[in-house]
């Protein structure tokens, strides 16, 4: 393993080879330790920092773009972790010194004396190292931590050998009185031989929440048939994690005695919790399970059919299963969840029929199924006919699925783009808005005029309007600003979600926004509050206070709170008045604002804790330490 390059070890570690990462730890632990000591001048804290740095490196290993530069990447993690620890170092030392003053030093045994002497020597070396500059201290630490050569240090620090020699020379000159002691302490404080094994143990512990269950399942499966009886009993355990692990192990052991106990999981109240056993198809390993699941489908319980179909979807090239699932897929009264499961299962059982099945789903009457078919086709890399993809453009289809359908049309090249232009000009409202969105995301110049039409009226849902506004902002920022500030803004027709993107308005439109603030829907009123506060500033504070006092609609009150918080010092006199209000909602809002600003005085906090209303008292319990008396 020592002959492998860093890149090779990283690749193997990413593939799940724990020994490969242990090799990286052994190769770089001294460099990491030297860097940490150079930053902290504290050997014990440096060891903790290095452990934490390797844990972070393991967790983020897939983010490393250039595996050959693992050492430099690790050094950055060590530095970041050490600097974070450095901020806590003074506090830790203060507590340690306080403990030392209060501790009982009556023990004068040779062991205690020796320990005290070592502590004093480490403290002297730490003080000596802190006199050096950070760069010189890092070079000295790397040199003495395990006898690293000048070339090794230069390579790790990404500097020349001459630079390393200069830093060492300057560092040694400053440490000439303590140099012998420094060398001795570094030798005493080297990382233990089993440091990489300790890191490996910690990695296993860190991964326990996600990986240990797989390990347990694997070990149980290795026991095999003798474990079946106990595992079947474990399916009735009160702990859900135990039940799931037992179910998955039984699937891997594939003993016929597990058929009925595992099948009963379908009928459990938390059946979807056992999703991993059925969705992966492992359950089909159990003898008789395939026929049992076909029987579940035949019984017609719509709540169970979908899980059975997901499991049977792994029975590749099974004609009987395909025919049963196909009938379910084509039944008019099949619920949407089961229909989606059937569509995916058919595509998996016979991959050669996937394009036809997805096309059929796209052309079907159910809007939910159309959307999921468009998404599934995009995931599989299928290219359904253009006319089928357009069926998923309807306003009743989910926004993200409509975008996927549009992207499928674009995959048809020039013909698809022309179809989108035609739909944008002549299609139904849903087709126009979807085509305009897809073209806008691809930078089409004429999409803006059509896309903004989807923001007028009520034929689109809020999620779609928000996506449309983000698309417009991203590709047509100046045009959006001009549109929202001109053209009179047809307030009764404009979708309420648009107001979340309005920031400033011309003076002649203020009366219109004031009318919207008083008479609009909650969403449009909240938008008007935002716009008018930006426009009028502190002059709008009385209205913000009125919104907070009313408390309803909640959307308007929350926006009023956000805007008052944004005004900061300009709102302080109003907030202080609210704190003495006879309305509990105002008192609570004032308390929360002062806490948010970090200006809650201890007198105000005590007053809130004795407030007659429970909501104000509850808010006072979550308040931070007061700013002043």
506 in the same domain as 484: no
**In contact, 452 and 421? CB cutoff 8 Å:** no
Residue 337 lies in a domain: no
pLDDT at residue 193, rounded to an integer: 63
Residue 151 exposed, middle or buried by CB count within 10 Å (0-12, 13-18, 19+): exposed
Length of the chain equals 629
Residue 234 lies in a domain: no
The residue range of the domain holding 14 is 6-98+111-205
388 in the same domain as 490: yes
CA distance 484 to 122: 68
CA distance 408 to 355: 13
126 in the same domain as 10: yes
Domain tally for the chain? 3
Query: Of 243, 31, 226, 45, whose CA–CA distance to 143 is shortest?
Result: 31
576 in the same domain as 447: no
Report angle CA 147, 150, 151 to the nearest 5 degrees: 115
Residue 558 lies in a domain: yes
Residue 549 lies in a domain: yes
10 in the same domain as 46: yes
Last residue of one domain, picked from the residues 439, 465, 494: 494
pLDDT band of 1, cuts 50, 70, 90: very low
pLDDT in tens, 562-592: 899 989 889 999 999 999 999 999 999 999 9
**In contact, 19 and 1? CB cutoff 8 Å:** yes
Last residue of one domain, picked from the residues 443, 461, 494: 494
Residue 195 lies in a domain: yes
143 in the same domain as 10: yes
**In contact, 499 and 524? CB cutoff 8 Å:** yes
Residue 377 lies in a domain: yes
Last residue of one domain, picked from the residues 494, 518, 534: 494
| Beta-carbon contacts of residue 116 (< 8 Å; ≥ 6 apart) | none
481 in the same domain as 519: no
Report residue 140 as tokens.
């000295």
Residue 573 lies in a domain: yes
459 in the same domain as 443: yes
DSSP 265: G
pLDDT band of 99, cuts 50, 70, 90: very low
391 in the same domain as 365: yes
Greater pLDDT, 490 or 516? 516
Quickly list DSSP for 75-109: HHHHHHHHHHHHHHHHHHHHHHHHHHHHS------
**In contact, 216 and 245? CB cutoff 8 Å:** yes
pLDDT in tens, 416-451: 888 888 888 888 777 777 888 888 777 676 777 777
pTM above 0.75, yes or no: no
pLDDT in tens, 285-315: 999 999 999 998 888 777 788 888 988 999 9
CA distance 97 to 116: 14
SS (H, E, C) 495-553: CHHHHHHCCCCCHHHHHHHHHHHHHCCHHHHHHHHHHHHHHHHHHHHHHHHHHHHHCCC
Residue 13 lies in a domain: yes
Q: Is the pLDDT of residue 501 over 60?
A: no
Report angle CA 502, 503, 506 to the nearest 5 degrees: 95
Greater pLDDT, 278 or 69? 69
454 in the same domain as 511: no
CA distance 451 to 436: 5
Q: Which segment of 153-167, 280-294, 461-475, 546-560 scores lowest on mean pLDDT?
A: 461-475
526 in the same domain as 429: no
Q: Is the pLDDT of residue 125 over 70?
A: yes
Q: Which segment of 221-225, 319-323, 372-376, 552-556 scores lowest on mean pLDDT?
A: 221-225
Greater pLDDT, 554 or 474? 554
144 in the same domain as 42: yes
Residue 152 exposed, middle or buried by CB count within 10 Å (0-12, 13-18, 19+): middle
pLDDT at residue 547, rounded to an integer: 92
């Amino acid at each position: 393993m020592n002959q492998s390059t860093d890149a090779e070890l990283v690749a193997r570690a990413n593939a799940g080879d724990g020994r490969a990462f242990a090799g990286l730890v052994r190769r770089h632990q001294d460099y990491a330790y030297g860097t940490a000591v150079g930053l902290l001048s504290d050997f014990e804290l440096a060891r903790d920092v290095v452990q934490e740095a390797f844990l972070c490196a393991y967790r983020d290993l897939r983010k490393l773009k250039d595996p050959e530069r693992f050492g430099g990447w690790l050094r950055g993690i060590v530095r970041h972790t050490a600097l974070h620890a450095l901020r806590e170092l003074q506090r830790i030392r203060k507590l340690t010194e306080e403990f030392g003053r209060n501790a009982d030093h009556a023990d004068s045994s040779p062991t205690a004396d020796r320990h005290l002497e070592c502590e004093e020597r480490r403290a002297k070396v730490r003080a000596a190292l802190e006199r050096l500059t950070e760069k010189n201290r890092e070079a000295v630490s790397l040199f003495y931590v395990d006898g690293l050569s000048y070339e090794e240090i230069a390579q790790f620090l990404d500097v020349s050998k001459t630079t390393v020699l200069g830093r060492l020379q300057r560092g040694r000159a400053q440490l000439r009185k303590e140099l012998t002691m420094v060398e001795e302490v570094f030798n005493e404080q080297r990382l233990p031989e089993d440091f990489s094994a300790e890191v490996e143990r910690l990695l296993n512990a860190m991964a326990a929440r996600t990986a240990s269950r797989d390990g347990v399942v694997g070990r149980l499966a290795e026991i095999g048939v003798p474990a079946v009886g106990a595992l079947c009993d474990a399916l009735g355990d009160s702990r859900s994690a135990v039940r799931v692990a037992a179910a998955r192990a039984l699937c891997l052991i594939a003993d016929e005695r597990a058929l009925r106990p595992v099948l009963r999981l379908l009928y459990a109240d938390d059946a979807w919790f056992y999703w991993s056993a059925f969705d992966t198809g492992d359950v089909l390993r159990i003898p008789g399970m395939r026929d049992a699941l076909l029987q579940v489908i035949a019984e017609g319980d719509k709540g169970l059919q979908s899980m059975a179909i997901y499991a049977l979807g792994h029975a590749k090239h099974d004609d009987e299963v395909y025919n049963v699932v196909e009938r379910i897929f084509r039944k008019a009264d099949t619920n949407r969840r089961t229909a989606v499961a059937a569509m995916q299962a058919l595509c998996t059982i016979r991959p050669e029929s996937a394009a036809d099945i997805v096309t059929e789903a796209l052309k079907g009457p159910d809007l939910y199924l159309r959307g999921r078919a468009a998404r599934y086709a995009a995931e599989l890399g299928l290219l359904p006919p253009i006319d089928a993809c357009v069926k998923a453009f309807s306003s009743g289809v989910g926004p993200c699925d409509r975008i996927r359908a549009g992207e499928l049309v674009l995959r048809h090249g020039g013909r698809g783009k022309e179809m989108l232009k035609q739909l944008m000009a002549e299609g139904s409202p849903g087709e126009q808005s979807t085509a305009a969105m897809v073209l806008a995301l691809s930078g089409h110049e004429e999409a803006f005029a059509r896309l903004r039409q989807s923001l007028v009226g009520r034929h689109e849902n809020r999620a779609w309007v928000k996506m449309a506004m983000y698309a417009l902002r991203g590709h047509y920022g100046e045009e959006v600003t001009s549109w929202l500030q001109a053209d009179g803004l047809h307030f009764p027709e404009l979708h309420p979600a648009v107001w979340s993107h309005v920031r400033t308005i011309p003076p002649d439109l203020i009366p219109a926004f004031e009318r919207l603030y008083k008479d609009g829907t909650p969403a449009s009123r909240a938008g008007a509050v935002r716009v008018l506060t930006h426009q009028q500033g502190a002059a709008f504070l009385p209205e913000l206070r009125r919104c907070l006092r009313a408390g309803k609609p909640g959307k308007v009150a929350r926006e009023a709170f956000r805007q008052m918080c944004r005004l900061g010092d300009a709102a302080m006199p109003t907030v202080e008045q609210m704190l003495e209000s006879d309305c509990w909602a105002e008192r609570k809002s004032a308390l929360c604002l002062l806490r948010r600003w970090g200006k809650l005085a201890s007198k105000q906090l005590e007053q809130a804790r004795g407030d007659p209303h429970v909501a104000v008292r509850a808010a006072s319990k979550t308040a931070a330490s007061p700013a002043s008396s």
